[in-house]
Structure 1
Amino acid sequence: MLNFKEIKEIIKLIDDSSIDEFTYESEGAKVQLKKTAARANQHVVYNNASEIQALPKQPAAESLEQPKKEVHLPKEESEQKTENLHKITSPMVGTFYAAPNPDADPYVTIGSKVKENTVVCIVEAMKLFNEIEAEVKGEIVDILVENGQLVEYGQPLFLVKPE
């Protein structure tokens, strides 16, 4: 059976290719990936941890009610503002969690000082909770995703002003 790292690499390869559908079966486990024309509207769902399918996102009822946070800056100003900032990105497809459990305070907030090994969030994938570290010393200046939100491989999660 493929391990998580191999599945993640296959997802990236399929996403970057012109292949629309991919199926892999081994020892009773099945990995199936499908993509639509709108690549930005994809995420991975899994059943019984043995079947993975990339399907179009379906908005949750509660997410329809919440306004999205959008900032519109002129392109040059936007590039200047983020040019010197480090992006902490998701290393996998999964669910973003800002805290270790629902009753705990978030790992970091805007203004938090972080070191390279500071845990900033958890990305849960296939029932595995993966701690994501800052990888840079600095200050959190923006949190780009909401708690419980599905995130894509490579999606920016935080902006950090390096020290």
Structure 2
Amino acid sequence: MDIKQIQDLIRFVAKSGVNEVAIEQNEFKITIKTNQAATYVNATVPTAPHPVAAAPVTETVAHIAAPAVAAADDNSNYVTIKSPMIGTFYRSASPDKPMMVNVGDEINSGTVLCIIEAMKLFNEIEAEISGRIVKILVDNASPVEYDQPLFLVEPK
């Protein structure tokens, strides 16, 4: 794989919304990761002297995007609490402490839901509404982006 093919692959990964692509050939291995929210794609790319992964991956991404839109419509009566910053999402103050909130918990405005660590600063994220936690959308100790959905809340 020459440098032009690698650059084309990087551009493709950035535009496609795929979070990570790994290609391995004889003595050559490349992994490209982005900072976007994860999109999971299982695609088999035929091994050729110079593989072009664009066609199979693009086709698979299109099939994944459609069900995601349908799932978002089912949650229309819920309020989404989003991340106010980029950082690492934590559900508890420390590993030995209990989780701040769990699915089914009743919350009030001002309830601390989680902590987001950004540049060694631990920021408590508080609820702005009252209701019940329906779903936690991020795994503990995972990186989050600005405006990424964290919780689904059924308002009171």
Say whether the fold is shared (TM-score over 0.5). yes
- More helix per residue: 2
CA shift at 1:39, angstroms?
Answer: 8.2
Say yes or no: does 1:161 pair with 2:138. no
Say if 2:130 is the partner of 1:137: yes
Q: State how far apart, in whole Å, the 1-side matches of 2:143 and 2:94 are.
A: 17
The alignment status of 1:121 with 2:99, answered yes or no, reads no
The answer for unaligned runs of 5 or more in structure 2 is: 1-12, 21-32, 36-65
Structure ranking higher in strand proportion: 1
SS at match of 1:37: helix
Map Cα deviations across residues 82-119 of structure 1 (whole Å, 9 max, x no partner): 11111111101100000011101100000000001000
| TM-score (norm: length of structure 2) | 0.58
Helix, strand or coil for the counterpart of 1:83?
A: coil
Measured after TM superposition, the shift of residue 56 of structure 1 is: 3.1
**Partner of 2:34 in structure 1?**
56
Per the alignment, in what secondary structure is the counterpart of residue 75 of structure 2? helix
Q: What's the CA shift for 1:134?
A: 1.3
Corresponding residue for residue 91 of structure 1: 84
Identity fraction in percent:
48
2:14 is the counterpart of 1:37: yes
Q: In structure 2, how many angstroms separate the alpha carbons of the residues matched to 1:132 and 1:121?
A: 5
- In structure 1, distance between residues paired with 2:83 and 2:16: 17
Whether the 8 Å contact between 2:113 and 2:125 is mirrored in structure 1 is: yes
For the pair shown, the structure with the greater C-alpha radius of gyration is 2
Structure 2: distance between partners of 1:112 and 1:93: 25
Alpha-carbon distance in 2 for matches of 1:128, 1:153: 16
Q: CA deviation at 1:75?
A: 4.8
- Structure 1 outlier segments of 4+, above 6 Å: none
